[in-house]
Structures are given as C-alpha cells and as structure tokens.
Amino acid sequence: MKNKDRKIIGDLITGCRKAKVLFAAVSLGVFQLTRGAGAASRSIAGKLGSDPRATEVLLNALVPMGFLRKSSGVYKNTPISDKFLLPEKSGFLGHNLLYQNILWDAWARLEQVVKRGRTDFPLRKLLSGHKGFLDGYIRGMSDIAKRPAAQIAELFPLDGAKDMLDVGGGPGTYTEALLNKAEGLRGTILDLPETLKLTKKIFKDHPLSDRVRFQAGDYHKADLGTGAYDMVLFSNVTHDEGPAENLSLLRKAFRALRPGGQVIIHDFMLNREMTGPEFSALFSVHMLVYTNRGRVYSVDEYRSWLKRAGFIRLRSRGICAGADNPSMALAGRRP
C-alpha cells in the first residue's frame, strides 16, 4: 500500500479517537473550567470529581487537537472552544455534540445492525427513555438549523399564506424563520408530547408565541385536518421513516392542504446512485444505527412519492450548497 493510501486509513483511526475525546470533554464540562485564565489539571479533576491521571491524559490530547492551550501546566480554551463549546455563546454546538456522544453506543453496534437490519437504540426509545438525549437532540438541532431555515424562508416565500403545519417540527426553528418572513402567517408545530414539552419552553415568552400553536401526537396517527393549511413542512423528518410511511405522510399532507397550497420536504438527499454527496451517504448510516426504517433518500424517490400523492409543479432547491452538510428542499403544489 502506498503511504498516501495508508494515511487515509490512519487518519480515520485518529479521527475516530479525536471525535470521542471531544465528545467526552464536552460531556464532562471541561471547557467551562478552562475558560478565561484557565486551570491546572489537578484543579480541573477536583472540580469534575474525576481521576487526576485520566483527566490529564484527556486534557493533553485536547491541546494538539486545537481545543486547549497548555502553558506552565495551565490549560486554557482556544478561540474555537470559546466560540463553539461554551453554553452561553450564540455559536454553541455542545448540544449537538452531546447527542452525537449518546449515539456512540448505537454506532458501536453497526455490524450487528447491518446483519440483523434492526437497532437496539430506536429513536422513540431514546427520546422517552434516555436521560439527556431529548435535550441534546432537540436543542442541538436548533443550533444547526438556523442557516438552512433562513434559506428556506428566503427561497419559498409564503406571502398571503395564513396557516402552516410543521410536521415533526422539533425546536420550531423552521416555523420561526417562516413566520418571521411572512406577516400574518400562523404556525402549528406537530410533534411527540415529550419533544413538545421542550418546544413549548423554547417558545415561552417568544415574540412569535401568539402565532404558534402546538399539536401533540404521533404524525402517523394524528389527524392533520382537511384543507386546513397553505403549507405543510417536513424538515428532517422523512429520513427517520421508511418509503411506505413517507408516501402515507405525503398523502396526509395533501389532504391537509388547501387547493394551491404547497408541501415542502427538506432533508439530506442522495444522487441517483445513492452514493453522494458523502455527508448524505454517511448520514444514511447514521439513520441505520438509531431508526428501524430510516435512511437518506434520493431526489428521484421523493419526486415519485410526491407525484403518487397527487402533487404537481415540483421544484427542488439546494440548501447550504458548498457547506460540508448540504441538504435539499423539494416543493410540490396541491392542484
């Protein structure tokens, strides 16, 4: 094997270790203790109640990774950790990292999932039974959704629309962006009762709170109404479900829309070969490890379901094109 090829594999082994070192540091709360003037390893271990030898090994690894600086035995945050790893900062990504950390156990069982086609860590079980998962999952989503939500609000103006339904709306970031763009638009966020408890907290005392209502329920069973909405949004929802469930959800959305109303699907999508972009192909494996039917779908698969559900005038737009995690939005109209 050429050195260059060997390095590709070596980098993956190191990358895997680096990811877990960062997840563990965020989960333990290291960066809150190394802000400002910083602290020595013993003092950090004392505050964390952790083992001094192990803590020092972890802290030392965070230095070459670029998350800490070490001088005369004192560890201090670098600008990147100050910007993204402190909870009070607007760029905080810690919730998402905690969610990734919780799913580490699910990823560790990838071979079994591939053999059996089923996971021991299904999303519903994690949402209701795993302490900390809901917060990391939902708040983490909100941290990363602001940019795509703003783009969708820009690309699919809802002028004149009165009512929208955000199916599996989670933290409500997309409802928020669309309502901010279209005066007079009201939003309904439909989600599981456990998720909505958090969504309601996010919208408490929010400037849009009087324009948002909540519908607690399972979107497979919930009544979405008939001719009740001008827009129905599925953002990052369809990748949790299988093809039959997605077709059935789109049929429900069709009934829920007023004539002329539109459905928008926003998600990571794959090319015809199902092999790219790389982020989408890997996200599909991510869905494999914690859902029993989900994966990432191709634009063609979505188009065919939309047509079968009765939608016309289909159009697709790239979202966050050029970013590491590009997604797509696909819209169709009810005639």
Ligand X SMILES: C[S@@+](CC[C@H](N)C(=O)[O-])C[C@H]1O[C@@H](n2cnc3c(N)ncnc32)[C@H](O)[C@@H]1O
Measured CA distances, 280 to 236, 242, 277, 324 (Å) = 12, 16, 5, 10
Of 163 and 240, CB closest to ligand X: 240
Site membership for ligand X, residue 11 (CB under 6 A) = no
Site membership for ligand X, residue 173 (CB under 6 A) = yes
Interacting positions 195-214 with ligand X (CB under 6 A): 195
Q: Which amino acid is at 10?
A: G
Site membership for ligand X, residue 288 (CB under 6 A) = no
Which member of 236, 262, 280, 327 binds ligand X (CB under 6 A)? 236
Q: Which amino acid is at 108?
A: A
Site membership for ligand X, residue 291 (CB under 6 A) = no
**Residue 280 CB, nearest distance to ligand X (Å)?**
14
Interacting span for ligand X (CB under 6 A) from 94-102, 234-242, 250-258, 289-297: 234-242
Q: For residue 300, which phi and psi values (nearest 5 degrees)?
A: -65, -40
Of 22 and 123, CB closest to ligand X: 123
**Residue 100 CB, nearest distance to ligand X (Å)?**
13
**Residue 173 CB, nearest distance to ligand X (Å)?**
5
- DSSP labels for 166-204? EET-TT-HHHHHHHHHSTT-EEEEEE-HHHHHHHHHHHT
**Residue 240 CB, nearest distance to ligand X (Å)?**
6
3-state secondary structure 28-73: HCHHHHCCCCCEEHHHHHHHHCCCHHHHHHHHHHHCCCCCEEEECC
Distance CA(231)–CA(227), nearest Å, equals 10
Distance CA(188)–CA(198), nearest Å, equals 15
Which member of 141, 274, 285, 314 binds ligand X (CB under 6 A)? 141
Answer whether 166's CB lies under 8 Å from 172's CB: yes
Other Cβ atoms closer than 10 A to 186: 18
Site membership for ligand X, residue 187 (CB under 6 A) = no
Interacting span for ligand X (CB under 6 A) from 61-69, 167-175, 253-261, 327-335: 167-175
Interacting positions 143-162 with ligand X (CB under 6 A): 145
Interacting span for ligand X (CB under 6 A) from 27-35, 108-116, 216-224, 301-309: 216-224
What 3-state class would DSSP assign to 78?
coil
Site membership for ligand X, residue 170 (CB under 6 A) = yes
Residues in contact with ligand X, counted by CB under 6 A, come to a total of 17
Nearest in space to 54 (alpha carbons), one of 81, 31, 28, 36: 28
Task: List, in sequence order, every beta strand (DSSP E) within the chain.
Answer: 39-40, 68-71, 74-77, 163-167, 186-191, 212-216, 229-235, 257-267, 269-270, 297-298, 312-319, 327-333
Of 69 and 146, CB closest to ligand X: 146
Of 153 and 192, CB closest to ligand X: 192
Site membership for ligand X, residue 191 (CB under 6 A) = yes
Site membership for ligand X, residue 300 (CB under 6 A) = no
Site membership for ligand X, residue 219 (CB under 6 A) = yes
Distance CA(159)–CA(145), nearest Å, equals 22
Interacting span for ligand X (CB under 6 A) from 79-87, 89-97, 163-171, 205-213: 163-171
Which residues would be at the binding site for ligand X (CB under 6 A)? 141, 145, 168-170, 173-174, 191-192, 195, 218-220, 235-237, 240
